Amino acid sequence: MQKSLGEPEPTEGRVEPSDIEQLDQSSGRYAPQEEKTSSEGTGAPPDEPDRPADTEAKGAAQSQEWWSTSQPAGEWAQPAATTADVDVPQESATADVYFCGQKTLLSLSRALQAIANEKLTGVLRSFWDREPIELLTQNGEIVFATTRDPDLYCQETPAVLANVDAEIVDKARAQQSETGTPFFLALARQQSIPRQPAIELVQHYGQRLFSQLWSVPSVWIMFEKNAELLSDASDVSAEPNVDDWALETLRFVQSLDQHVNFNPASIPAYTKDGFERIQKLKLTSDEAQFASQFNGVRSVQQIAKNLRLDLKSARLTLFRFLALEIVECWPASTAAKPEKKSAAQRLKGLIGRGR
């Protein structure tokens, strides 16, 4: 699938693992045998010391003290678990539902991972306080996101439509209201606009549409297995890497609601499979630098200071990794441990004292 319009250019750089890292089975995090930290944050391999004992012991009791985008996952919920402000159609009860539940119990990231791992074909429906958003998938790959509200999908008029008769555009938008097929595809199929720009617009506006779900607290999601739903998207190529597609959508998030808790003193650390997954992501240079700072000791505030970022920028970047469940944030210890100095730094300090 083509790259979205107006998004940060990804780099080929990766956050490389260290040769001395080993998996700490008790905590589910990667932990090196010897820490190598740097305050420069220029893409060096991230170090991950063991989680402080007092922090791990307080984990469950202090679950509300650090930033989290969702509650701990429980059993996947049934349709009856919906909240009052989310309208779920009754016909969904008769669909071939593979999984469903509240976003607070079944996160968007876990839903996307399930689609990829199980190679599911069908549609992921997200119900919230506006028209439902539908994400079409084929064999575990992302086709596109759409909705039956064309104004929610794309309210402005892209430049590619400047020379298209307004009546033709209106008919295509009306067709989207009925079928959910993005009106850019309808215009391309009737040769009103070139196909390649239309496909790029389908990706761009689909990702921008889906991005709204990341910071909305009340969302009920349901995956319906149904190959027939893709009959009107057979001419659209799919995105094979679900994490890359999700990260593209997260880059559209430029502000966070107040319900998304944020403590600058919290400490980001990789989840059990997060360090492996981040190696496969197409990160921008800024994201790669930020990820290189995760070592289980540095706080968000310290990372922002090291990279000379304001807290708002640091918060948005961290939110992307948290939403993907690549990292988790732990509360700061009551007695924070200072970062260990490298051998070069210690030698420099000794030489300075000897003068």
Span 15-33, pLDDT tens digits: 654 433 443 433 444 433 3
Q: Which of 199, 221, 250 is the last residue of a domain?
A: 250
The mean-pLDDT minimum among 50-59, 184-193, 345-354 falls in 50-59
pLDDT band of residue 240 (cuts 50, 70, 90) is very high
- Is the pLDDT at 80 greater than 90? The verdict is no
| Residues 218, 97 share a domain | yes
Residue with tokens 């995105």, as numbered in its chain: 239
Angle 330-331-335 from CA coordinates, rounded to 5°: 125
Lowest mean pLDDT among 41-50, 197-206, 303-312: 41-50
Residues 205 and 267 in one domain: no
Segment 78-99 mean pLDDT: 58
pLDDT at 78: 36
**Per-residue confidence band for 234, with pLDDT thresholds at 50, 70 and 90:** confident
Q: Is residue 310 situated within a structural domain? A: yes
In this prediction, residues 120-149 reach a mean pLDDT of 96
Please state, for a pLDDT cut of 90, what percent of the chain lies above it: 59
Query: What pLDDT does 248 receive?
Result: 98
Which helix (H) or strand (E) is 113 found in, with range?
A: helix 108-118
Q: Which domain holds residue 300?
A: 21-52+61-68+261-354
Q: Which residue has the higher pLDDT, 280 or 54?
A: 280
155 and 244 inside one domain: yes
Residue 237 sits in the same domain as residue 330: no
What is the per-residue pLDDT across 91-126, written as a single tens digit (0 to 9) for each? 555 568 999 999 999 999 999 999 999 999 999 999
Higher-pLDDT residue of 63 and 200 is 200
In-domain check, residue 328: yes
Among the listed ranges 209-218, 258-267, 291-300, which one has the minimum average pLDDT value?
258-267
Q: Are residues 86 and 231 in the same domain?
A: yes
Residue 10 lies in a domain: no
186 and 206 housed in the same domain = yes
Taking the C-alpha atoms of residue 185 and residue 43, their distance in angstroms, rounded to an integer, is 40
Write down the pLDDT at residue 91: 52
pLDDT at 47 over 90: no
Say if residue 217 is in the same domain as residue 328.
no
pLDDT of residue 25: 37
Using 50, 70 and 90 to split pLDDT, how confident is the model at 261? confident
Residues 206 and 296 both lie in one domain: no
Taking a C-beta distance cutoff of 8 angstroms, is the pair 242, 116 a contact? yes
Other C-beta atoms closer than 10 Å to the C-beta of 200 total: 19
Shared domain for 218 and 186, answered yes or no, is yes
Per-residue confidence band for 4, with pLDDT thresholds at 50, 70 and 90 = very low
Q: Which of 250, 273, 290 is the last residue of a domain?
A: 250
pLDDT band (50, 70, 90) for residue 45:
very low
Q: What is the pLDDT of residue 332?
A: 82
**Rounded Cα distance, 15 and 246, in Å:** 18
Instruction: Say what the pLDDT of residue 220 is.
Output: 96
Q: What pLDDT, on the 0 to 100 scale, is given for residue 121?
A: 95
Instruction: Tell me if 158 is assigned to some domain.
Output: yes
Is residue 167 situated within a structural domain?
Answer: yes
- From 219, 250, 281, the end of a domain falls on 250
- Bigger pLDDT: 305 or 91? 305
pLDDT for residue 342: 55
Contact 164, 192 (CB under 8 A): yes
144 or 233, which is more confident:
144
Which pLDDT does position 338 carry in this prediction?
52
> Is 4 part of a structural domain of the chain?
no
Pair (97, 207) in one structural domain:
yes
- Identify the pLDDT of residue 340: 55
Domain match, 164 and 241 both: yes
Same domain, 285 and 205: no
Domain tally, the chain: 2
Which residue carries 């079928």 as its tokens? 179
Per-residue burial over 259-270, b if 16 or more Cβ lie within 10 Å, else e, is ebebeeebbbbb
Q: Is residue 255 part of a domain?
A: no
Average pLDDT of every residue of the chain: 78
Residue 28, pLDDT score: 42
Per-residue pLDDT band at 330 (split at 50, 70, 90): very high
